[in-house]
Chains A and B, each alone.
Chain A
Amino acid sequence: MLLIPCPYCGPRSETEFSYGNQAHIARPEDPDALSDGDWAAYVFLRDNTKGVYLERWVHSHGCRRWFNVARHTVSYEILAVYEVGTPPPDIELKTEI
């Protein structure tokens, strides 16, 4: 069970949250100009990192706000929590094989 520190409410258990997968995927500026391949990349392709992953969570059963989390996907350690729209924190994005 993860204890997720909501930046607005404090630490709450994982059952209160929903998951939004990879963070920092910008919506295409000019959708009409995208090729099918670009659309596929935007909609479907993800890093799915083994290691430190920057991901989105929403506190569904609390304040209902979205925020970003840097979490290690093997140890599940939460390394940083930061606001949507802010750049990722200055931590090493280690990956494993």
Chain B
Amino acid sequence: MTRRYSIFALVRNALSYHENWPQVWRSPEPRPEYDVIIVGGGGHGLATAYYLAKEHGITNVAVIERGWLGGGNTGRNTTIVRSNYLWDESAALYEHALKLWEGLSRELNFNVMFSQRGVLNLAHNQHDLRELHRRINANRLNGIDSEFLTPRQIQAMVPIMDLRGNGRYPVLGASLQRRGGTARHDAVAWGYARQADARGVDIIQECPVTGFRITNGRIEGVETGKGFIRAKKVGVVVAGHASVLANMAGFRLPITSLPLQALVSEPVKPVIDTVVMSGAVHAYVSQSDKGELVIGAGVDKYVGYGQRGSLPVTEETLAAVCELFPLFRRMRMMRQWGGIVDTCPDASPIISRTPVENLFFNCGWGTGGFKATPGSGWVFAYTIARGEPHPLNAAFSLDRFRTGYLIDEHGAAAVAH
């Protein structure tokens, strides 16, 4: 039984020295058969399971994760959330997610620390500036809050930024989405896991999916480290490993898996209370509640499944960060890591049926899927439950690479994250 978290629970448990908190979710052995198996226990997979149970009443569900919950990109990302994408299809999808974020802590009874501290996207040259205005106008037509900031207004918001960019990256303007911000990545996975479990979903960790059983073009179940598990439907949400699982199922994806890296600095006093992104120089900065600077970098240029990130990319990002924020030059970086992102040729996700009946894929979020976690789970649950996409994700099909209806957010959405 999941007990509600509240101030009273906190006080009650404080009295017993916090030794009697109940387990947050069960760790059951897999049953022989499920209505739906979700492969991948990141935020997207757990959200999918939660919405399957909550919105569609499908509770005979297992989430199968090779490692631990949120140990993939969910727990490795720089947590920027925004919805100011250029094209109508993306704007609708990401805005749907942002609306869910706005009520998420309450809905999950779990503090996901969603902080709408605003997200700035910088323009460094005339071309950037024109693209920025175009995107701001497109956002507004789609009812998404988006405004232009002059250099003077930027300086007022982020006094520590050098607007001359030391001559190298001059800042000519920025877009601002005030409703954007950051969230606590682990909490998102844990919050969804706890509520999915409460509704009967089995969460099975340390259990890799090693193959699919497919008969006459129809899915029968998955082969796993704990044996064969039968399923009526299977949804795969494994981020950087999407191609690996598609190859197991006998088809290929238009995806390239690349390491994307991030760094955190030593903790310092509050110096920046918003999120600053610069797509052009591949540097993204915010400050965590612990005081660390959270810095996102660019992707490696070659296919890689090593969760590291290459050194030239680290160097390039830190060089840009130092030009924009001279104050950070003497700051030490505490940790650096990488996650494997599933990049798509048009920088948009694939949330789709596949050539195999009752096998669904949700992938291609690349460098920017954390922000979509609630919305992605919501539309994927719908797609699996109904066997067809929701209007919000209909355009994000695998078939768009055949029809040519690409949703090209490369550059359009101010790149990355």
List residues of A (30-70) whose CB comes within 8 Å of B's CBs. 36-37, 39-41, 43-50, 53, 55
Cα separation A15 to B311 with both chains bound (whole Å): 10
| Chain B nearest CB, measured from A10 CB (Å) | 19
Instruction: Name 13 A/B residue pairs within 8 A (Cβ), A-sorted.
Output: A2-B310, A21-B256, A21-B303, A41-B252, A44-B254, A46-B255, A46-B256, A48-B255, A50-B244, A50-B305, A55-B303, A97-B210, A97-B248
Known: A15-B312, A19-B302. A97 touches B208 (CB 8 A): yes
* B151 adjacent to chain A (CB < 8 Å): no
Cα separation A50 to B311 with both chains bound (whole Å): 21
* B243 adjacent to chain A (CB < 8 Å): yes
* A8 adjacent to chain B (CB < 8 Å): no
Contact A97 B256 (CB under 8 A): no
Cα separation A48 to B401 with both chains bound (whole Å): 17
For residue A47, which residues in chain B have a CB less than 8 angstroms away from its CB?
243, 247, 252
For residue B404, which residues in chain A have a CB less than 8 angstroms away from its CB?
36
Contact B306 A75 (CB under 8 A): yes
List residues of A (54-97) whose CB comes within 8 Å of B's CBs. 55, 71, 73-76, 95-97
**Number of A-B pairs, beta carbon distance below 8 Å:** 78
Cα separation A39 to B254 with both chains bound (whole Å): 12
Known: A2-B310, A40-B401. A73 touches B303 (CB 8 A): yes
Contact B254 A46 (CB under 8 A): yes
Contact A45 B252 (CB under 8 A): yes
Contact of B306 among A40, A46, A74 (CB under 8 A): A74
For residue B210, which residues in chain A have a CB less than 8 angstroms away from its CB?
97
Interface size class of A (residues with CB under 8 A): 20 to 34
Cα separation A15 to B302 with both chains bound (whole Å): 12
Known: A21-B256, A97-B244. A44 touches B401 (CB 8 A): yes
Cα separation A29 to B217 with both chains bound (whole Å): 30
Contact A55 B312 (CB under 8 A): no
Contact B252 A37 (CB under 8 A): no
Contact of B312 among A1, A36, A41, A95 (CB under 8 A): A1
Q: Apart from A46-B255, A97-B208, what are 18 other A-B pairs with CB-CB below 8 Å?
A: A14-B310, A18-B301, A19-B301, A21-B303, A40-B402, A45-B253, A45-B401, A46-B256, A48-B257, A50-B243, A50-B257, A55-B302, A55-B303, A73-B257, A73-B304, A76-B304, A95-B244, A97-B248
Question: Can you name the residue of chain A whose Cβ is closest to the Cβ of B251?
Answer: A45
Known: A46-B256, A48-B255, A97-B210. A53 touches B310 (CB 8 A): no
For residue B301, which residues in chain A have a CB less than 8 angstroms away from its CB?
18-19
| Chain A nearest CB, measured from B144 CB (Å) | 29
Cβ contacts A2-37/B at 8 Å (1 or 0 each): 100000000000110011010000000000000011
* B213 adjacent to chain A (CB < 8 Å): no
* B403 adjacent to chain A (CB < 8 Å): yes
Contact B254 A45 (CB under 8 A): yes
| Chain B nearest CB, measured from A29 CB (Å) | 20
| Chain B nearest CB, measured from A79 CB (Å) | 14
Contact A48 B302 (CB under 8 A): no
Cα separation A79 to B397 with both chains bound (whole Å): 37
For residue A43, which residues in chain B have a CB less than 8 angstroms away from its CB?
401
* B345 adjacent to chain A (CB < 8 Å): yes
Cα separation A93 to B172 with both chains bound (whole Å): 50
* B26 adjacent to chain A (CB < 8 Å): no
For residue B254, which residues in chain A have a CB less than 8 angstroms away from its CB?
40, 44-46
Contact B303 A48 (CB under 8 A): yes
Question: Can you name the residue of chain B whose Cβ is closest to the Cβ of A45?
Answer: B252
Contact of A50 among B241, B252, B310, B345 (CB under 8 A): B241
Cα separation A36 to B238 with both chains bound (whole Å): 28
Cα separation A71 to B301 with both chains bound (whole Å): 14
| Chain A nearest CB, measured from B242 CB (Å) | 8
Cα separation A43 to B210 with both chains bound (whole Å): 28
For residue B306, which residues in chain A have a CB less than 8 angstroms away from its CB?
73-76
Closest 4 interchain pairs by CB?
Answer: A44-B254, A48-B243, A45-B252, A40-B402
Cα separation A53 to B304 with both chains bound (whole Å): 10
For residue B401, which residues in chain A have a CB less than 8 angstroms away from its CB?
40, 43-45
List residues of B (392-417) whose CB comes within 8 Å of A's CBs. 401-404
Contact B310 A1 (CB under 8 A): yes
Cβ contacts B306-342/A at 8 Å (1 or 0 each): 1000111000000000000000000000000000000
Cα separation A11 to B248 with both chains bound (whole Å): 35
| Chain A nearest CB, measured from B10 CB (Å) | 42
| Chain B nearest CB, measured from A41 CB (Å) | 7
Question: Can you name the residue of chain A whose Cβ is closest to the Cβ of B403?
Answer: A36
Contact A14 B304 (CB under 8 A): no
